Chains A and B, each alone.
Chain A
Amino acid sequence: MQTDMDDKNILDAATEGEYKYGFVTDIDTHVIPKGLDEDVIRYISSIKGEPEWLLDFRLKAYRHWLTMKMPDWAHLDIPPIDFNAISYYAAPKKKEGLKSMDDVDPELRKTFDKLGISLEEQMRLSGVAVDAVMDSVSVKTTYKERLAELGVIFCSISEAVRDYPDLVKKYLGTVVPYTDNFYAALNSAVFSDGSFVYIPKGVRCPMELSTYFRINAADTGQFERTLIVADDDAYVSYLEGCTAPMRDENQLHAAIVEIVVEDRAMVKYSTVQNWYPGDKDGKGGIYNFVTKRGLCRGDFSKLSWTQVETGSAITWKYPSCVLAGDNSVGEFYSVALTNNYQQADTGTKMIHIGKNSRSTIVSKGISAGHSQNSYRGLVRVAKQAANCRNYTQCDSLLLSDTSGAHTFPYIDVRNDSSVVEHEATTSKINEDQIFYCNQRGIPTEDAIGLIVNGYAKEVLTKLPMEFAVEAQKLLQVSLEGSIG
């Protein structure tokens, strides 16, 4: 009855207050001055001791970025961003040679304890290997030794550049080139750290790999970059969580996730995104402008994205699958909840190139308060991609008459043997359901929490267990105060 215990916790947690991850950790941080030019990029590259080719990559990206404009096609109202008012590198100051957990700054460890991901705990109990990225630098990666026995590489991308330069060079920028979009170019120029995962041929990674991201320092941007490669017949499930302190200013998070999936390999990527969403009046919060894309290069490869998006003031994010391999499979399961003055424009792209490739999209949007919540998705079937299938279901639930729910699917089919289906519904929360709960003694706010979690269940069940519980709590907590 594991689920029941967890469900109980959810109900308990629902009575707790607002954004509970909004603490600031008081640790010594190394922040470089605000602003961006080639010198800053050279500086970032040099403190990380990077090889010449990576500096070149960064500089090319930067020069390209200078020619680009912020994208304006999303259904978002983005205030102008002064990219010179951001510091592009912030790291907890490093003590020489971290040997064990004891060497990690105690304050930093407290932070992760508050996040509920005590490293020891994770190591000991759940078998989750955690790579924690604080601001921009990967702090400590647990479980590395056990993984190493299997040949699994799980480390920060900085370490990977140092220790596995050939692998990184082979894959970096191959799925998301620096020319891809404005934020991808910026990230390519200034990315500071992130995770690197390589699963060798035939290896089924025995544990969930997990990264926790946290923005701590003020006036900094976070630009992490994650690269996951699953070689032939490999399998990995990867989790990503995020939090940030409550601050009145907006902070920028522009990450890139690149995934390469080879023949018959499978990658499952789960995100619970809970960046600080701003306060009740829309002040503060993270701008979450993220490019996530996987290339299902191999035949029979599979990539599954699951995301629960409750945080960030503005979200601009489209985890995508390029289904290049024959019989490859792409999945996207999403719950996006917006409250107060949050804005989200999120969805996916499924690009069918391989024959018999299949994709499934399930998107559940929930809009409360004065928020705007948009699904935007592209399904493209190339001419040579015979016998492809796509099914898209995207539902929107409105909890207030001042919020908005929008659906912008793009369907582009170029052959006569593929079937693409898109269905969408938008409706307000069902009053009969609320009354039924009321009659059984459940107050309206709790009833809405139950109904919303039920509505999102199809997606939540795709998450690994520990994450599903957290996600359910988040949905409930994020809705608090939304019912007038």
Chain B
Amino acid sequence: MSSIKQYIDLYNEFGPRINTASHEVLNAMRPAALASLNECRMPSKGDENYEISDLDAIYSPDYGVNIDRLDVAVDTEEPFRCDVPNLSTILFYASNDIYHDNQLASSQLPKGVVVASMRSAEVDEVVKRYYGKVAPIDNPQVALNTLLAQDGMLVYVPAGTVVEKPIQLVNLSRAASPMMTNRRMLIVVEDMAQVKMLVCDHTQSGDVDLLNTQVIEVVVGKGATFDFYDLEEASAGTHRVSSMWVRQAADSNVLINGITLMNGTTRNDYHIEIDGERAETQLLGMAIASGSQHVDNHTYIGHNVGYCRSNELFKYVLDDDAVGAFAGKILVAPGSPRTEAYQSNRNICASGNAKMFTKPQLEIYTDDVKCGHGATVGQLDQDAMFYMQTRGISCREARTLLMQAFMSDIIDGVRLDALKDRLRHLVEKRFAGTLAQCRSCTVAQVCHTKIKKK
């Protein structure tokens, strides 16, 4: 309750002003969010499923909130134009939690496809229909975001429409003083539609403390295909609390890949409910953390019906004082025959001070299943290290090569060749410690100065 109180107070005092600069559908949800928040407390360290992430502490500081929607100047041209060729996307961006419509980008979208701020009138109907319907309001993170979010991005792909080019959203965070932003996304992929999305988080404000909360709601229709790449390259002062809620209909195919390359403190929840038969889900993720970075991924895949398959793989490399956590649950509901579900979490602790906490879980209520999970925490293969050194490869280089190899199956899971190349390149640079030396990646330079090797 302690950390929540200041937000309730804020809402009670400035509620009308928050509403003024927002969409009526978002405003309509706030009373329910408030009621929920009055009933709950923010989880703190030691609570089940928050073994290492103290949300109460993360929400406690006094952050500023831009309730009057003053636009912050950000450089939208420079970031994310790295020296990786062939990645051609339809690019949109948001500065803090203000979503910018982009006519040029929108013109590249197939007919009927909408990528727009939730405030624009043309998206009214879809927002009304789906907003707040997938993410549960009794979750304190969701409730708090719902209470304060003033804008969001809507992605709408009508039935049968295939968006060939990936849609990219770049979230830029910048503030001169500690600030909270509440981001929201609603993605609706109707029956038989297909879309690929890349969402990149960047910070442009050095070591200022930022709290970015994010709630993403996704509805995937029958036979639809949805790929989502969630990439974070943020500063050490950034606290990210993100949750993604997905509902999958029959025969749909969903791929989610959560990548934490650079960050401060991150807590991601990926929550997938499979509601229709023959659906397929791939949930992948990787984290490379050094310094005092903190990465906590929490996942849930609910097999609510039979004949579906899910495959989950998360990999972490932790260096310096980094802390990693993974908690994954696969639930196979009663009467869900022929379910195949596999979950794996592999981790490398590369320094004596790194910590990894992992909790892979299976909860199975049907007998006709093939399920398995595995988790390992270990080190790089010392024999391979030695072998490479005898061939003249430096210890440092050998380490980099092995770490890259370790991450390769996550990158191989990317279903977009150009992005695969790009990611491979970024990971390579991350391990080589030269991510910041990419001239265009101004964002990453900030990271680099913050996170120095001890």
Contacts and interface: CB of A to CB of B under 8 A. Distances in A.
* Chains A and B in contact, CB within 8 Å: yes
Interface in B365-391: 365-379
B352 A426 contact: no
Contacts of B379: 416-417, 419
A411 B369 contact: no
Given A424-B362, A425-B372, A411 B349 contact: no
Contact of A407 (B334, B357, B358, B361): B361
Nearest to A381: B377
A63 interface: no
Nearest to A422: B375
Contacts of A399: 367
A411 B362 contact: no
Interface string A308-339: 00000000000000000000000000000000
Contact of A408 (B355, B359, B367): B359
Contacts of B216: none
A426 B362 contact: yes
A145 to B, nearest CB: 51
30 contacts: A73-B48, A381-B377, A398-B369, A399-B367, A400-B367, A402-B334, A403-B365, A404-B363, A411-B358, A412-B355, A412-B356, A412-B357, A413-B355, A413-B356, A414-B356, A415-B349, A416-B349, A417-B352, A418-B377, A421-B374, A421-B375, A422-B360, A422-B373, A422-B374, A422-B375, A422-B376, A426-B370, A427-B369, A428-B367, A429-B367
A318 to B, nearest CB: 15
B359 A410 contact: yes
B364 interface: yes
B120 interface: no
A408 B361 contact: yes
A424 B341 CA distance: 12
B351 A416 contact: yes
Given A411-B359, A415-B352, A420 B376 contact: yes
A358 to B, nearest CB: 14
A409 B360 contact: yes
A413 B358 CA distance: 9
A401 interface: yes
Given A404-B363, A428-B367, A423 B378 contact: no
Contacts of A407: 360-363, 373
A423 B361 CA distance: 11
A268 interface: no
Interface of chain A, main secondary structure: strand
A416 B354 contact: yes
A414 B355 contact: yes
Contacts of B372: 423-426
A60 interface: no
Nearest to A393: B374
A423 B347 CA distance: 14
A409 B359 contact: yes
Contacts of A422: 360, 373-376
A383 interface: yes
For the complex of A and B, the 10 pairs showing the least CB-CB separation, nearest first, are A398-B367, A413-B377, A428-B367, A419-B378, A416-B349, A426-B371, A425-B372, A407-B362, A422-B375, A411-B358
Given A406-B362, A409-B359, A414-B355, A419 B376 contact: yes
Nearest to B319: A416
B91 to A, nearest CB: 40
Nearest to B52: A412
Contacts of A410: 51, 357-359
A396 interface: yes
Contacts of B373: 407, 422-424
A133 interface: no
A22 to B, nearest CB: 29
Contacts of B358: 409-412
Interface residues of A, number: 37
B364 A409 contact: no
Contacts, number: 122
Interface size bracket, B side: 35 or more
Contacts of A75: 363
A475 B356 CA distance: 38
Contact of A396 (B335, B356, B364, B376): B364
A272 interface: no
A239 interface: no
B4 to A, nearest CB: 23
Given A410-B359, A422-B360, A403 B367 contact: yes
A427 B370 contact: yes
Contacts of B378: 418-421
A405 B352 contact: no
B422 to A, nearest CB: 30
A412 B356 CA distance: 6
Nearest to B347: A413
B110 to A, nearest CB: 43
Contacts of B55: none
Given A73-B48, A404-B365, A416-B350, A425 B376 contact: no
Contacts of A409: 358-361, 375
Nearest to B375: A422
A428 to B, nearest CB: 4
Contacts of A401: 334-335, 337, 366-368
Given A396-B364, A412-B357, A419-B377, 7 more contacts: A75-B363, A401-B335, A413-B377, A416-B351, A423-B373, A425-B372, A427-B369
B352 A420 contact: no
Contact of B364 (A383, A402, A405, A418): A405
Chain A CB count within 10 A is highest, among B48, B357, B361, B377, for B377
Contact of B369 (A73, A383, A412, A426): A426
A413 B354 CA distance: 8
B368 A428 contact: yes
B67 to A, nearest CB: 39
A412 B323 CA distance: 11
Contacts of A408: 359, 361
Nearest to A373: B364
Contacts of A73: 48
Contacts of A418: 349, 377-378
B369 A406 contact: no
B369 A424 contact: no
A408 B375 CA distance: 12
Interface in A423-455: 423-429
B13 to A, nearest CB: 37
Nearest to A372: B365
Contacts of A429: 367
A383 B369 CA distance: 38
Contacts of B359: 408-411
Contacts of B364: 396, 398, 404-406, 426
